[in-house]
Structures are given as structure tokens and as C-alpha cells.
Amino acid sequence: MLTPPPNVTGSLHIGHALTASIQDSLVRWRRMRGESVSWVPGMDHAGISTQTVVEKKLMRERQLTRHDIGREAFIQQIWDWKELHGDKITQQLKRLGTSMDWERSFFTLDESRTEAVKSSFIQLFRDGLVYRDTRLVNWCCALETVISDIEVEYEDIAGRTMLSVPGHLKKVEFGVLHDFAYKVDGDDSQELVVSTTRIETMLGDEAVAVHPDDPRYKHLHGRHVVNSISGKRLPIICDSDLVDMTFGTGVVKVTPAHDPNDYACGRKHGLPIVNILDKDGSFNSNCGSKTYEKMNRFDVRNQIVEELKALGLHRGKNVNHAMRLARCSRSGDVIEPMIMPQWYIKCDSMAQRALKDAESLNLMFYPDSAIKDWNHWLENIEDWCISRQLWWGHRIPAFRPIFEDPSDIRTVFGAETGDGPWFVAESPEQASQQIHQFIMEKNLQHLKYKVIQDDDVLDTWFSSGLLPLSALGWTGKVLPTGGKLPERYPTTMIETGTDIMFFWVARMVMLCTHLSDQVPFKDIMLHAMVRDAQGRKMSKSVGNVIDPTHVIEGISLNDLKATLETGNLAAKEVKRSQAQMEKDFPRGIKASGADALRFALVSSTQQSRQINLDLSNVTSAQHFANKLWNLSAFYMTRLQDVEHVSSVTSETVLAQGLMELGSGFTNKMTLAERFIMSRLAETVSKVNASMEQLEPSVATDTLRKFIIQDLCDVYIEFIKPTLFSEDLFVIEHKPRLFKVLQTCFDASLRMMHPFMPFVTEELWQRLLPATAHQETSIMISSFPSNRELGSWKNEVAEKDMEIALCLIQASRALRQTHQVPMSKELPFTVWTNDPTLLAPEGALYQSRDYLSHFTRAQGEIVYIDGSLSGEDMSGFETGSVVHVVSPHVKLFTPFPAIQKAITSAESRPTTAAAATGATILQGGAADRVKQQQELQRLDRKLSSVRVNLERLDTRVARPEYLERVPEHVRAIDAKRKQELLAQEEHLVATRHTLQTALA
């Protein structure tokens, strides 16, 4: 398995920690199951991000641009920066506890990966999938590079909005539709009015278009208008695809080099396609006006409006124009459509293969709902622009001859060659040979030329898309093993965020499948994007980005704010972010440890759409880790009371000798022991199943419930009387008790280890016998399996324990209702109409000692078999408080005993009252108020239960119920009705008792 390589630009954020925590849990689980596991780490060179960081650093420290120092020197600057900062990410991952295969670690610009990228580009070129074309691209003026379609983010604007744009001190106006007029050439009395949100692009207009059927303009077909600023004559063309004659004036300005729709129109009508912008977004000499040359596009916007007003050609504006603004996801700059030659990959055939692989289940998605997005994107895929105008990255292995006389290339090859011809090769020497052979074949030996390499680099996602192959040592050539594909290819799975499913996962599938004829992995596991507790996207400029090491080790607010001052944020953004930090983390971030962070992150993936990370969840996970620690302390302390020798080994979970007690001799085990072993077996089964199904959050939830509710709250509490007893008969059972406790605690630590590796390793080492090998680690111990523990599943024991727990809870509810403290014993009677519960192997018989202890019963609990004829309970019910546990079990307590216990509790003086010779006589009045409040609560609850019963009866009574409702749903309804009837009976009885007490 590969880890999504984090960018080398800085430090990990909490999203990386989530991915690492999920992957490490799966890796450790598989390793403990005896599988051969290799989890390959690496770092991405992150072309745009890294170059931007170093460029800002260069300007800040030396007031130089990359062009000032040259390409080679600048690239060396980046390598120096990478060596200085790159190790921080590795240390963060290790601090998080990730068990990666560090010896296989890669960097996407290292020698092996560079070789793989070259080979892949050349192979795709030879296969006809890589090609060069001149077309309209998404240009980011701030970064001065092309970005792909899926790197463009769209912002909806309802009307006039002032937005910040990189490189501009003042905000820029958007959402305004300007109207201006073009005068008809030769007749100033006629004009065509056009509307535009980008009025500055009028300097690049090459035509105005009308609908051929629009009667208003038929007399102008074939005429021209005049651009009053540049003086250029623009033809009036007819285009039914571009123009909607019912919208606005029915006239559209056509700027082929700076608008996608206009570009298509320009190609169709043979219009000149002239770029009026330089790479930095300033106007060039093609704009036709010296006034605006070298001026920024948004500054030109304002001045064009003023000039048109001065000329009397501005016809007003609409400030409520709704529009979608395209912005660069990398820089936030407004995208400028620009015409220029770039390298592309044809994606249609590879996308079709990826769709078929998903349909045939060669690719499996977790969650499976992701397949809809997968299909939608691949079915509508566009060719991928893979060239970037950067210096940091994999330089494109494409070369071309530059002739001394530029006209030679057009004379020989014609206009169709674009900026070529291009030759793809692994080295300049091989390219020179190809070009020389080409020149000879064309009989062009008399022409002088030199060979140059394309300055552009490949999109970072291109090299990342090859990682399932390249990270395993593939270079496109025969490997030392003799094969062409790595030994561990294809990998087992990939786990990453939904936000890069198309940036990365889909491209890995397309590229690697084409190059290897095998899908790079079968399982695709996706998690939602991590946001802060308020659901906001994490951003450095907002100040809510969380460094995982800050959560692990803790950090003060002052130190947290200081981290922003060493980055690349502008001073204004630093202040705004620090102010946000003061609100979100007024006391800094408390140290919670790696285990708590990991457990909280994995548990949070139950949130499917987005993960709102609240640090209180990490604190809760830390408390859970403390629970494990306290459980260990309890276990180790109690060991000193008995001669129990630990039999913990790496190979098995069951304590030595426990199997003999559990097979054929179940009568030797108490109900509590049979119950906890059954719950352990069920937990092991569910944890393994959830990990198999790539649902680790289900595993964490299952483990938390088992350890807290079953092991600590039930089993530990139930065995405490035995542990502290001095009775010789009871003492004989302690060794067996510790075999069960050792098994449950050992299994719990092993199952928790994938999520909390540090605390589980520490506590497990304490479990080992003194004879254990020094290198024994929980990390390589066997994971609890269904094969080993499945036979301990005992549904009868679990149902019996449920009855016992319900009776204990009923006794406590009764005490709470009537304000009877636990210090006062009460006589209890248990009635049942199920004789099997009273049999020697039945729940009530098996749990009789537990019930007496935990209900604080006065004397022996009386058990009545309601199935026997002649057992009339009517008189008994009249004089007792009844709690309906189920339709088959009821708990009774004589009302006089309750009154006596209340009176006894009220009359006992407190220390303060005894000092003044007074008693708390007012307590009875206070309790009476509480009882009245309880009666009101019971009335509300009873009303709710009866409403639900009526609704259920109405639904079941419908004629179509039996035909339309599935059998399993009808069974659920029947069970629900029994539960509601039992609740009604209990509430009526309790209400009657309380009314009697208040009378």
C-alpha cells in the first residue's frame, strides 16, 4: 500500500494525520494477522507549491526573482530548501506512530522516479496518447502557469462584489455587466450595443456576432463596426450557436483568444486569434493601445470604462448580474483564458477502461456511493493538459530544432506544425540524433539549427499518477529480477480523501492500467475532508489549520501564534489568522498524545460527508486511553493477591488452561465469565469484519463499547466481590477468574493496538511473563481471530446477563424514583412467568448472588414462578412498588419497606446538624417536591408511550400491511409493541405507587 505522498513544502496537517491513522490501523491489523505488509512512504515535489514558497523566500530575503538568478541556480535553491525542511514531515509521521517501510521511502523527483516519468511520457507519446496542441487554457497570472480543469474552483456571485485578487492591493469589482456601443463603420448614426462583465477584453475583440434570423440586424450583415479605442475594424458575423437573440440586445462581442465560447466561434469563422495579455496578466502590444500596454488587466478595466464614458459610448451597467467566477485553487487568482500551445493526454480510451474495471468489480469503492461520482467524472472527461510553465518539476523530455531563419520552419512544414516539430527522447543526445535523421530525410542539411528542450515541466499529478508502479522501483525498463513489473505490483489498496479522487486516484488507475495492463489496486477507500469544529475548511489564512504534533505534545497560544510568523502569509493575513486562533484556542492546545489523536481521527470517519474535528473528541479518546491504563493497574494489583502466572504469548490470546474450562465443563464457569467470553468472541468477530470491510470507525466504536461497557462496567464490577472475598470456597475460583480476565485484557490490547500503538505496547509488555523474549512486541503478536474465540459465543449467557442487568437497573430506578439511598437495604421479590429462568441453568438462578449484591437486597431475594396455577399476585401488587422489566419479568418491593427506608434516611442527622442538635426534618418536604416532579415526568412519558402505541396499532391495522411490509419489518414492529406495552405497564404501576405515597 502507498501513502498519499505529502507535499515537501512544509509540515503535516490534520488531514495527513487522518490518512496516516487510517492506513496504519489497517497495516498493523494485517501485519498481526500474519500477512506480509509493505507500507511505502514518500514525499511529493509539489511543483507549484514548492516553487511558490521558495520564490517568496528569495524575494523576502534577497529581493530577487527566479529570473534574476536563472533556472539552474533557482532549482538548486529549492533542493537546498528541501534538504533543510523535508525531514520534518518524516519526523511528524514517526511521532504519530506510523509503521511504514522507511527503507522504501521515495521522493517524486529522485532518480528512479524521474526515470519512470521519462519512460512513461515517451511510451504514451509513442502510443498516440500524448500530443501537443494550441488551444485555450486556464491560465493563472499569479503563478504564471497553466492549470488543469479540475484545479479550477468556481465562485458564485449574486451581484456587484469586491474581491481580493493576488497582486492587487485594492479589491476588484465583479458581478457587474457593462453595456457599450460599437459604431457601424461608415455610419455613426448606427451602432451595436454589447454587454460584458470583462469590458477590458474589448481590446481583443475580433468581431461582433448577431443571430442570422434576427430582423433587427439583417441590414447589417456583412458590414463592420469600429473599435473606437484601438481603431480596428471588426466584422459583423452571423452565429446561431453563440447568440441568443432574446437575451439583452442580441449582439455578442467576440474575443477568440480569451473566452472559450468565443474561441469556438473564432475557429468556425476563421477569425484571427490574437492574445492581448502577457503571462503576468498585463496587456501587451497586441491590444492596439499604447495607453494600456504593460498595464494590469484589472486596472485596464476601470480606465476602459472611463474612456468609453468620455467617448459617449458607455451605455450603463447592471450591478445585479449573477455570474460564476473561475479561480485558481492554488493561488486564488482569477483564471484568465489564454491561447497557447501545451502538451495533452488523450483520456477517453483510458477512462473507458477505468469505467469497465469498476463495472466488472476489478475496482471496489469504499464507501460504494463513490462509484456514482467516479462514473460521472470519467464519462465526461476532457483531455488532460499536463504541461506547466514552472522550473521545479520533471522537465518534459521533448526537443525541437530552432532554425536560424524562423521563416524556414514555416516554408518547409507549413502552419500546421504549430511551434514544432517536436521530438520526444530520453536525453538531448538521443533527441539530436532523431532530429539529425529527420533533417537528412527531409533534405534540409543546408539549414542551420540548434536543438533546445521544452522549458515546461510536467503536472505534478502526472508523476503522482505513476506511483503504484514507480514507488515499487519500476522505471519502464526491465528490472533486475528479469520482469518488467515490480514484484508487489499491483498493490492491495489505496486510501485517501475524496477531494483527490480525480486528481490522483483516477489518474493512477488510467496511467498505470495503460502501462501495465493491470489495475494498480483493487480497493479504493475514501474519507471525507477534515474541517474544523465549526465545519470550516482548514486554511492557513483563516488560522484554523492544526498541526498534529501540536495536539500530541501541546502548544501554548503564544507559540501557536508564532508559527504563523515564520510562514509566507502576508502581514495582514497573519494578524487575521492570529485573531482567529485566539477565538478557537484561547488556552492553546492541550497535550493529548498520539494514541488519543489517532483514535479520535479514525472514529470520526463515521461522518460521511465531512469530518468536523472537535478537539474535545481527542480529549474523550485520551480519557479512554486512561481507562486502559487504569484497567491494567487494577489487573496487575489484583495479581498480587493470587498465585496467577501470566501465560501471555504472541501466538495465542486464550490464557493457558482456559479452553479446558470452556469446552464440556461450562458449569465450572460463572454467568459473568460466560457472558464476557461471549462478548469478547462477538467483539473479535465484529472488529475483524469491519476491518475486512474497510470500516475501521466501526471497529473503534465496537472496541470502546466492549472495553467500557462489557469489560469494565459489567465484568470487572461483577468479579470485585470475588476478588476481595476471604471465603475459602470463593478463593478457589480466583485462578479461573484471572484466566478469563487475562484473556479479555490481552485480546483488548491487541485489538486496540492498530489504533493506539503506544499505550497498548506499554501495557502489553507488562502482561508478558518474565520468561518472554526481549524482542517480543504486540506489533507482531497474533490478532484475535474467530477461529480461536468463535466457540465462546454464547447467546444464552448474554440474554441471561441482560435480564440480570435489567433487574439491577430496575432496582436502582426504583430507588431513584422514591429517593431511597443505596445505603438502605430493601426487600425484593422477582416474579416471572418463564419457569426456565428459575431452573438451575436459568438466568435468575445463575445470577442470584449478583442480584443480591448489586440491588442491596435485604435478606434473600424471593423468586415467584408465575407460570404455576394458583399464584395470585393481585394483593401483592396492591401493596408493592412494581417495576416491569419485560413482559416476563417484574420486580416488586413492599411499599411499607420503601417508606421505612425513606423515613430512616430523612431522620439521620448530618454532621452539621448534629453540631446544633437539629435533624433534617425539612428533607421530607424536599423529597415530596421531587416526587411530585417525578410524577409529572411519568405522566409525560406515559402519554408519549401511549401515542406511539396508537400509531403502531394504526399502521399494523391497515389492510395492506401484511402484503406490503416485509416479514423482518413486521417482526420488528411486533417486538416494538411488546416493549411499549411493557413500558406502559411499568409506568402505570410506578405512577400508582407514587400517587399512593403522596396521598
pLDDT tens per residue, range 45-82:
988 888 888 888 888 888 888 889 999 999 999 998 88
Q: Which three cell numbers stand for residue 692?
A: 475486512
Which homologous superfamily is 151-337 in?
Valyl/Leucyl/Isoleucyl-tRNA synthetase, editing domain (3.90.740.10)
Angle at 492 between CA 487 and CA 496, to 5 degrees: 125
pLDDT of residue 636: 85
pLDDT of residue 607: 61
CA distance linking residue 786 with residue 691, whole number of Å: 13
pLDDT of residue 918: 33
- The CATH architecture assigned to 610-793 reads Orthogonal Bundle (1.10)
Mean predicted confidence (pLDDT) in 689-714? 95
pLDDT of residue 212: 95
What is the chain's length?
Answer: 999
pLDDT at 465 over 60: yes
pLDDT tens per residue, range 434-444:
999 988 888 87
pLDDT tens per residue, range 98-127:
999 999 999 999 999 999 999 999 999 999
CATH 1.10.730.10 residue spans of the chain: 610-793
> Pairing mode, if any, of strands 862-865 and 829-832?
parallel
pLDDT band (50, 70, 90) for residue 997:
low
Percent share of the chain, pLDDT over 70 = 90
pLDDT at 613 over 80: no
Angle at 809 between CA 807 and CA 815, to 5 degrees: 105
pLDDT of residue 795: 93
CA distance linking residue 542 with residue 537, whole number of Å: 9
CA distance linking residue 876 with residue 892, whole number of Å: 9
Q: Which three cell numbers stand for residue 399?
A: 526537443
pLDDT band (50, 70, 90) for residue 873:
low
Which stretch of DSSP H or E encloses residue 152? strand 152-157
The angle, 0 to 180 degrees and rounded to 10, between the axes of the packed helices 696-705 and 671-692 is: 170
Which homologous superfamily is 1-128+457-527 in?
HUPs (3.40.50.620)
pLDDT at 844 over 60: yes
pLDDT band (50, 70, 90) for residue 971:
confident
pLDDT at 334 over 90: yes
Mean predicted confidence (pLDDT) in 729-753? 84
Q: DSSP for 126-153?
A: HTT-EEEEEEEEEEETTTTEEE-GGGEE
pLDDT at 181 over 80: yes
Supply the mean pLDDT for the chain: 86
Mean predicted confidence (pLDDT) in 186-207? 93
389-398, 634-643, 649-658: lowest mean pLDDT where?
634-643
Q: Is the model more confident about 174 or about 607?
A: 174
715-719, 810-814, 901-905: lowest mean pLDDT where?
901-905
Would the pTM of this model clear 0.75, i.e. be above it? yes
pLDDT of residue 619: 92
Residue listed under C-alpha cell 508502479: 469
Dihedral sign from CA coordinates of 213, 216, 218, 221: negative
pLDDT tens per residue, range 120-152:
999 999 999 999 998 899 999 988 999 888 788
Using an 8 Å Cβ cutoff, are 45 and 470 in contact?
A: no
Structure letter (DSSP) for residue 716: I
pLDDT of residue 630: 93
Which whole-number Å values give the CA distances from 468 to 457, 475, 527, 672, 810, in the listed order?
21, 12, 20, 50, 59
CA distance linking residue 711 with residue 36, whole number of Å: 32
pLDDT at 910 over 50: no
pLDDT band (50, 70, 90) for residue 674:
very high
Taking residue 879's Cβ as centre, other Cβ atoms within 10 Å add up to 12
pLDDT of residue 553: 92
CA distance linking residue 378 with residue 673, whole number of Å: 55
154-168, 196-210, 479-493: lowest mean pLDDT where?
479-493
Which whole-number Å values give the CA distances from 899 to 84, 105, 828, in the listed order?
77, 74, 14
Which whole-number Å values give the CA distances from 913 to 29, 909, 919, in the listed order?
61, 6, 6
Dihedral sign from CA coordinates of 575, 578, 584, 587: negative
pLDDT of residue 258: 93
CATH 3.90.740.10 residue spans of the chain: 151-337
pLDDT at 417 over 60: no
pLDDT of residue 913: 37
> Pairing mode, if any, of strands 529-532 and 610-613?
parallel
pLDDT band (50, 70, 90) for residue 388:
very high
Using an 8 Å Cβ cutoff, are 475 and 112 in contact?
A: yes
Secondary structure class of 496 (helix, strand, coil): strand
Which whole-number Å values give the CA distances from 2 to 110, 294, 691, 913, in the listed order?
17, 47, 18, 71
CA distance linking residue 23 with residue 2, whole number of Å: 9
Cis peptide before 894 (omega within 30 of 0): no
CATH 3.40.50.620 residue spans of the chain: 1-128+457-527
Percent share of the chain, pLDDT over 90 = 53
